[in-house]
A and B are shown apart, each in its own frame.
Chain A
């Protein structure tokens, strides 16, 4: 298994070391297949996510930065699911260490959707047991319609935007006409913004505004749904993910914007 399927790259040796560590323990099956998890996921995915087409080639694992973490890798995860090891698959914290980047699908000859399997494994965790940081960020975003995971409300955002804009219009007169509108009806672009800038580093708002001003873009933030981050998606909380996305999209629609510019 080692060597043959390794990709040539700067981290070849590293991956080999990690795989060496994790192949020491044989997996023992109970003998009776009781799987329901992978079958349920198959029902939810187009073409069943191709989850039963694995050739065990290992291309996924050899190019996965999460290989070796928690003694797991994408192929092993998929094989364990296929073998009906539901308890292990739905309890390993590895599912929170896979970023669902989808590189494994890209290199897979059978285009198996392992990231979606990971997503549903996340979803199988009782909500309150999912990682506190992600959970807290999602819950915070649900508290008001700005959808800010850092809890910035409509007035907070408006104050920061107006304050910073005024300061820079004066300090840099070439941009005296620059705008940073909130809820501008009929603007072409609806722009969202990661909460980090307005909350912790407002000067970092400026470069984006200057670029938009320089190219003459007709744009606006929304008082609702301006926050670009969506931790509910990472939490695998479908309803909350949908709520946050819908809040932003509705605001863009209500304002009559033509293009949703996601800066995240």
Chain B
């Protein structure tokens, strides 16, 4: 699905992938457990995987992952964008409005904006 949305040539999978991939550390209650330092340390592997792809964005399909990876991007200084799957689907369909772009970086904030006049 991601390939069809961003274009095959723009999709870079991380290594390892699928069942061999690593958990980001947002799940299992970790985000609410209070062990923040441990959680970020846990996420170091995921962040390294993402940074190794040199991709501008990481797509997350779940909230826990989104919150954790977004924090990893800031914490480890990768500053890649972390977007929900639904955002990039709507972006590709040309129906993503100006106020639905919280997690898009500046490079995509103004791309293919649906009803730009409604920007708040």
Give A residues with C-beta under 8 Å from B: 9-11, 14-15, 63, 65-66, 68-70, 93, 96-101, 103, 106-107, 131-134, 136-137, 168, 171-172, 174-175, 194, 196, 201, 203-204, 206-208, 210-211, 214, 228-229, 231, 234-235, 264
Contacts and interface: CB of A to CB of B under 8 A. Distances in A.
Contacts of B43: 65
Nearest to B118: A171
17 contacts: A9-B15, A10-B15, A65-B44, A65-B45, A65-B46, A97-B30, A97-B35, A99-B30, A100-B27, A101-B28, A131-B34, A131-B35, A168-B97, A172-B115, A207-B90, A211-B90, A234-B32
A6 B30 CA distance: 25
Contacts, number: 133
A134 B100 contact: no
A228 to B, nearest CB: 8
A101 B35 CA distance: 17
B29 A96 contact: yes
Contacts of B89: 207, 211
B23 interface: yes
B94 to A, nearest CB: 10
Given A99-B30, A211-B86, A264 B118 contact: no
Nearest to A96: B33
A76 B4 CA distance: 43
A70 B49 CA distance: 23
Nearest to B91: A207
B62 interface: yes
Given A65-B22, A69-B42, A204-B100, A97 B16 contact: no
Contacts of A98: 28
A106 B16 contact: no
A187 to B, nearest CB: 19
B13 interface: no
A99 B23 CA distance: 8
B109 interface: no
Contacts of A103: 19-23
A132 B87 CA distance: 32
Contacts of B46: 65
B38 A210 contact: no
A9 B28 CA distance: 24
B27 to A, nearest CB: 5
